[in-house]
A and B are shown apart, each in its own frame.
Chain A
Amino acid sequence: MALSAEQGGRLAHLLSQHADRLTNRWTEIVASSLRGRLSRAELARQVQELHRALVDAGRQGVSDLADEHGGELRAVLSELSTNRARQGFSATETAISVFACKDALLELMEEEKGDDTLRDFVAFSALVDQMGLFTFETFVRARESLIADQAEQLLELSTPVVKLWEGVVAVPLVGTLDSARAQVVMERLLQTLVDTGSPYAIIDITGVPAVDTQVAQHILKTVVAARLMGADCIISGIRPQIAQTIVALGIEFGDIATKASLADALRHVLRLTGVETTARRPRRES
């Protein structure tokens, strides 16, 4: 049941007439739900802003939140819920900030009973429900953009390709490998192979918490691609736990060299390239 222009006017009148009482009660309800995680003054300011927007909307005869007069109200709501989302409040806590308005108003309306009180309240309630839904949607959008930002940052800080020796590069993988990250790793490694002309690459998975078939698939693809380009890959940093998982899952690394530690892998490559490392005998004090 939509809010008619007449009802809107009456409500706006009611809201503005008891402005202080209403906002105080409203703030109180919201404050109890947030358990002191937002300062009282901050909360009161938000509620007053919302109240003012609501009064304006009522005066202009907003029947539906989506129509043109609801613009300001929408802006206030979206700012509120975006802030809440960024501050880490839950969706319920955010929605209560809007729905509390109903409770506060109901108390008011009960005191001055008129003929149309019930009808007015139901219509008003529909509007508040719309506001609540809108808040929720904005909240989810804000959270999603937050997650997207973080995922992007994660992608950026991942996977440096480091040069270990002349002709040997290494990729220390840290964190879970999903398709997007694996793609970035693969491209960066292959590009580095071309740029540096290194015929050997070591993929170190010490920092990968778990290896499932998908992760193994990504690593294998990288190795095969490197091979196609004429470079050899060695996989190192396989922890005992991961070795067990790999065998249990039946993952075959074929003829790809695997080493327990990065040091072993480097030693292996150096032997292949014919570099000899010998410990120099410590000079004796005479």
Chain B
Amino acid sequence: MERVPILKIGDILLVSIQVDMSDQTAIQLQEDLAERIVATSCHGVIIDITALDIVDSFVGRMLSTIASISKVLDAETVVVGMRPAVAITLVELGLSLNGIRTALNVERGMELIAASRADEPDEGADDEDTETTATA
């Protein structure tokens, strides 16, 4: 069975899906990701689906589930790199992937996560920093 690698970059976990998702792969990914979030105490998950030609209802549901799991573990999920054809198909199918944040590419995704972390004032280390910039 194929496994999807999970990379840690700073405070973010990066998942780049390069293989066709089967039920087994998806479940394995969910488990792996939950464990890694707890182990590394990361606050952001980026799922890169640039390589996916087809996103069906199954993969859509998987993305939603991962987002929900991460949410529970206090990590923000961003899906990046969706292709135009995939987006059009999803819209035609009526799947709007509710509750999932999206970005055009990994870079934007990281910016998005950084921005949303900065908005939360109760985050230990950069607490004072954010407040001073907010008032300035």
Contact = CB atoms under 8 A, between A and B. Distances in A.
Nearest to B112: A230
Contacts of B102: 227-230
Contacts of A193: 84, 104
Interface in A150-192: 186-187, 190-191
A199 B87 contact: no
Interface residues of B, number: 21
Interface residues of A, number: 18
Contacts of A225: 84, 87-88, 90-91
Given A190-B84, A224-B96, A229 B104 contact: yes
Interface string A197-210: 11100000000000
A199 B79 CA distance: 14
B97 A199 contact: no
A187 B82 contact: no
Nearest to B104: A230
A186 B80 contact: no
Given A194-B83, A228-B82, A187 B88 contact: yes
B105 interface: yes
B12 to A, nearest CB: 16
A133 to B, nearest CB: 43
Given A191-B84, A194-B83, A228 B103 contact: no
A263 B68 CA distance: 39
Contacts of A12: none
A195 B78 CA distance: 20
B3 interface: no
B88 A190 contact: yes
Contacts of B88: 186-187, 190, 225
A121 to B, nearest CB: 61
The 10 A-B pairs of least Cβ separation, nearest first, read A190-B84, A230-B102, A230-B103, A225-B87, A228-B87, A225-B91, A229-B82, A230-B104, A229-B87, A221-B91
Interface of A: 186-187, 190-191, 193-194, 197-199, 221, 224-231
